Amino acid sequence: MNYSRMARKLRKKISRFSGEVSKGLPKVGERFVREMVYGIQVSQSVVLTKIGRQLEERVSIKKVEECLSRQLQRRGMGEKAQENLLEMASRHIGKETLLIPDLRMLKGQRRFLIRIIGNRNLICAGKEKLAREIAEDCPLLYAETIVRVDDGKEKVYHLEFGYRNVKFPGREETLGLLVVRGFGREPMMLLTTERLRRSRKVLWWLVRAYMRRWAIEETI
C-alpha cells in the first residue's frame, strides 16, 4: 500500500474542503481552518494538544497550542465558518432527504429518524403503550455483527433488530419503531417516517444511518 500517495490524496481533499469552509476569511483564518481540519482528521480528536502534534511545526507544542487557541477566539471566525458549512450542506438536502436530528429539532421535518426513550407513549395495534413495552414484544428477525472502537479498543457487538408500526397518540400518520438489541441492557429504539417492511436491507440501512450520526457525536 502506497501510504505517501494516500497522504497526498487526503491532504488534497482536506485542502479543498477547508477552502470552502474558510471562504471569506483572511489568509490567517484560511490556514487555521486548514490546519484544524487536518489535525482533527489525523488525530481523531478535538483536543488542541493532539491536533498540534499532527501539524509537525518547528516550534514547541505549547506555542502551537497557544496559537491555535488565539485563532479560535478570533471574532467572527466561527460564525463565518458555520455559515459556509450550512451553505455546503444545503446543496445535498432535498425534499426526499432523510434527516437524523435531535428530538428537539423535529418540528416541521417531513422525513426523520430519531432515537426515543422507553417512557414515550405510542399507539401499536390500536393500543396505547409505552415504547419500551412495544420494544419488548417486538420480533427481532434479523441479526448483524459489527466492530466499533470504544476507548481506543475494538469491541464486537452482536445485534438483533426488527420493527413495529406505530403512531403518536392523537395523530393519524403511521411511523416505524425500529428496535435494536445488543448495545446494552436496554434496546435502542429508533422512530422514523420511513416505511418499514420485512427487509434486512431496508432495516439495516436505517440502523447504520443512525450509527453514523452516533459516531459523529462521539467526536464532538
Q: How far apart are CA 140 and CA 174, in angstroms?
A: 20
pLDDT, one tens digit per residue, over 172-197 is: 999 999 999 999 899 999 999 999 99
Of 4 and 62, the structure prediction assigns the larger pLDDT to 62
- The DSSP secondary structure of 33-99, one letter per residue, reads HHHHHHHHHHHT---HHHHHHHT--SS-HHHHHHHHHHHHTSTTHHHHHHHHHHHHHHTT--TTPPB
Encode pLDDT of 99-119 as tens digits. Answer: 655 544 455 556 788 899 899
> How many beta carbons lie within 10 A of that of residue 59, not counting itself?
11
The pLDDT assigned to 1 comes to 53
Mean pLDDT over each residue of the chain, to the nearest integer: 84
